[in-house]
């Protein structure tokens, strides 16, 4: 039986503020690359923080007894850590993580002695992903891991994540790039109006009607090589 | 160089500084001079270690390279408490009164900051409250100084500049016991401190109880600082310089940084104290307060570290 990380009827609000998530249900299954998309401020990051137990929901529950690792959108070390140290910090939570093997797998073995501040955006992101992978989680939650990457490094990152999914790791990714989601997602969930508006395969979720409902007439959907492509709408 | 070897070298140097410092400036070995000076050097040794570890904790917990043991205002409140007793002997009902009142003031300030810091404020908020407390107690200190009898002023000025004067081991034992307790406590939190200094959100996701870590860490750092200040007055720069001087060689792991800071801080203050009593100014022994020596050495050393760091990253 496949393991899963499940949010049941989740409600969340910061003290004295309106609800951000309202009766939201979500499921991440082992071995899938699950994209969470939606407009700015729709509650995608809040959902990930609830799943990683950084935030406690007002009501509802998170069902999981497995190890969950979380990588926020921005990581701000107060000191300049070396690449090896960053990965070793994650490995402290794992049982028998082979850091050298992991670095080789992510093609960052040549960076081991470099400082985090000396890396390019792509290298830095790979190192941070290595750090959370070193925790040896069953589920990985990534908040906009590709936001500062060029298209080459985005492709590299998601190809890499796919290989880990093939080994049974369940990964949820908050992403604003619908085209990347369309290309790499096993499943896409749209967060809108404090709930999951729709969840499923990309061809079922990335539709003109869904996009119009979220963004109005500003974008349209085309088909390219069997993938949905979201582009700005013509006047 | 391997970090364990570096730690061993530091341990040998620090122990050598403690053992050899009493002999410095003495033409012939004298057991009497050694036994007279050893309590003073021991107090300096313990105080230096406590201040350096206190500074390391502040820099980690406030996520700010400029944080020192004096940042939260704990030192100035401890100074205020002790200073009142020194200024007005009527308050010194026992020989321990300055230390006791200094400690009470420091603990009250610490509890106030921890209460505020873990409930309402962020890291920059804690820093701002600390700076404000520093100013308030600084002003209060000035008032006491203004009202104090003039004949007490020389001793007060000397103490305010940070000075180590003792002829027995009582003060060393006090600081030693407090340090041992604080170090044991913070040693248990070394992994949490590493995760916290990497990233707060990641640390929380990895199971670190950040509020508890802040409470324990700030309390430990404040206690170490208050223990030293009530005995020796405010001794500047050790808490700031020592962690910065060690990071390029030791790294960021608290497993290595905690003992390394202790060893370098203790050796440094033992040597600075030796220098302060051995310096000849205008042909005579000066015995200038050790706080002046640490600031004179620590200031340029810190500048050197900062410039070296900025040069390294500008290329």
Residue B180, chain A, CB below 8 Å: the answer is no
- Residue B106: count of CB within 10 angstroms of its CB: 28
Confidence of residue B312 (pLDDT cuts 50, 70, 90): low
pLDDT > 90: percent of chain A? 62
A117–B199 C-beta distance less than 8 A? no
A82–B313 C-beta distance less than 8 A? no
pTM to 2 decimal places: 0.88
Q: What pLDDT does residue B311 have? A: 64
Chain B residues closer than 8 Å to A78 by CB: 59-60, 63-64, 197-198
pLDDT tens figures, B195-247 = 999 999 999 999 999 989 988 998 899 889 988 988 888 888 899 999 999 99
User: Which tokens sit at A56?
Assistant: 């406690």
CA distance B248 to chain A (A): 10
pLDDT > 70: percent of chain B? 90
A82–B206 C-beta distance less than 8 A? no
Question: Where in chain A are the domains?
Answer: 4-202
Interface test with A, best of B201, B203, B249 (most A CBs within 10 A): B201
CA distance B208 to chain A (A): 11
The average pLDDT across A182-199 equals 93
CATH dotted code for A4-202: 3.40.50.300
Chain B residues closer than 8 Å to A56 by CB: none
- How many angstroms separate the CA atoms of A205 and A219, rounded? 15
Identify whether the C-beta of residue B65 lies closer than 8 Å to the C-beta of residue B59.
yes
The average pLDDT across B105-122 equals 78
Residue A101, chain B, CB below 8 Å: the answer is no
A78–B205 C-beta distance less than 8 A? no
Among chain B residues, CA nearest to A128: B202
Reported ipTM: the value is 0.90
Mean pLDDT value across chain A = 90
Residue A111, chain B, CB below 8 Å: the answer is no
- How many angstroms separate the CA atoms of A171 and A165, rounded? 7
More confident residue, B256 or B99: B256
Q: What pLDDT does residue B145 have? A: 85
Interface test with A, best of B120, B190, B205, B206 (most A CBs within 10 A): B205
pLDDT tens figures, B26-71 = 666 677 777 778 888 899 999 999 999 999 999 999 888 888 878 8
Q: What pLDDT does residue B64 have? A: 85
Interface test with B, best of A89, A112, A117 (most B CBs within 10 A): A89
Spatial neighbors of B197 by CB under 8 A, at least 6 apart, are A77, A78, A79, B60, B63, B252, B254
Q: What pLDDT does residue B284 have? A: 65
Residue B191, chain A, CB below 8 Å: the answer is yes
Which secondary structure element, helix H or strand E, spans residue A190, and what is its range? strand A187-192
Q: How far is CA B265 from CA A14, B25, B39, B121, B242, in A?
A: 44, 22, 17, 31, 6
Identify whether the C-beta of residue B151 lies closer than 8 Å to the C-beta of residue B89.
no
Identify whether the C-beta of residue B215 lies closer than 8 Å to the C-beta of residue B186.
no
Q: What pLDDT does residue A180 have? A: 93
B195–A54 C-beta distance less than 8 A? no
Mean pLDDT value across chain B = 85
User: Which tokens sit at B290?
Assistant: 């050790």
Span of A20-34, B37-51, B146-160, B171-185 with lowest mean pLDDT = B146-160
Q: What pLDDT does residue B315 have? A: 46
- How many angstroms separate the CA atoms of B144 and B86, rounded? 10
Domains of chain B: 3-24+33-277+286-305 (1.10.3470.10)
Q: What pLDDT does residue A11 have? A: 94
């Amino acid at each position: 039986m496949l393991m899963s990380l499940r949010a049941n009827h989740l409600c969340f609000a910061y003290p004295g503020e309106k609800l951000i998530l309202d009766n939201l249900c979500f499921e991440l299954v082992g071995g899938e690359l699950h994209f969470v998309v939606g407009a700015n401020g729709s509650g995608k990051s809040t959902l990930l923080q609830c799943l990683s137990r950084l935030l406690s929901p007002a009501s509802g529950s998170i069902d999981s007894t497995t190890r969950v690792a979380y990588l926020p959108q921005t990581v701000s070390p107060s000191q300049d850590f070396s690449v090896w140290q960053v990965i070793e910090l994650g490995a402290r939570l794992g049982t028998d993580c082979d850091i050298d093997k992991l670095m080789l797998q992510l093609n960052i073995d040549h960076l081991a002695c470099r400082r985090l501040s000396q890396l390019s955006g792509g290298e830095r992101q790979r190192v941070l992903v290595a750090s959370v992978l070193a925790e040896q989680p069953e589920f990985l939650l990534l908040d906009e891991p590709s936001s500062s990457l060029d298209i080459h490094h985005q492709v590299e990152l998601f190809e890499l994540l796919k290989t880990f999914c093939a080994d049974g790791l369940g990964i949820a990714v908050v992403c604003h790039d619908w085209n990347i989601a369309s290309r790499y997602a096993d499943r896409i969930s749209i967060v809108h109006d404090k709930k999951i508006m729709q969840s499923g395969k990309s061809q079922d979720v990335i539709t003109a009607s869904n996009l119009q409902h979220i963004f109005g007439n500003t974008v349209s959907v085309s088909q390219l090589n069997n993938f949905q492509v979201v582009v700005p709408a013509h006047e | 160089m391997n970090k364990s070897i570096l730690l061993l070298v530091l341990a040998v140097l620090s122990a050598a500084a403690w053992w050899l410092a009493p002999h410095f400036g003495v033409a012939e070995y004298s057991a009497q001079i050694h036994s007279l000076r050893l309590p003073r050097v021991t107090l300096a040794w313990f105080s230096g270690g406590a201040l350096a570890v206190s500074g390391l904790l502040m820099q980690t917990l406030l996520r700010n390279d400029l944080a020192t043991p004096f940042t939260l205002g704990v030192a100035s409140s401890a100074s205020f408490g002790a200073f009142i007793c020194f200024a007005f002997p009527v308050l010194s009902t026992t020989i321990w009164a300055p230390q006791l009142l200094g400690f009470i003031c420091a603990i009250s300030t610490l509890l106030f900051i921890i209460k505020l810091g873990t409930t309402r404020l962020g890291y920059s908020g804690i820093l701002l409250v600390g700076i404000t407390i520093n100013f308030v107690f600084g002003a209060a200190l000035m008032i006491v100084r203004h009202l104090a009898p003039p004949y007490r002023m020389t001793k007060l000025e000397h103490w305010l500049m940070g000075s180590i004067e003792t002829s027995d081991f009582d003060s060393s034992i006090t600081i030693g016991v407090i340090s041992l307790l604080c170090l044991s406590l913070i040693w248990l939190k070394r992994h949490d401190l590493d995760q916290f200094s990497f990233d707060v959100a990641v640390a929380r996701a990895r199971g670190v109880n950040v509020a508890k870590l802040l409470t324990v860490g700030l309390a430990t750092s404040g206690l170490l600082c208050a223990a030293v200040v009530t005995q020796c007055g405010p001794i500047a720069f050790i808490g700031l310089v020592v962690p910065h001087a060690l990071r390029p060689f030791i790294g960021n792991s608290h497993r290595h940084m905690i003992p390394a800071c202790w060893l370098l801080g203790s050796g440094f203050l033992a040597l600075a104290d030796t220098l302060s009593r051995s310096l000849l100014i205008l042909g005579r022994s000066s015995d200038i307060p050790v706080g002046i020596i640490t600031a004179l050495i620590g200031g340029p050393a810190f500048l050197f570290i900062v410039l070296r760091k900025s040069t390294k990253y500008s290329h």
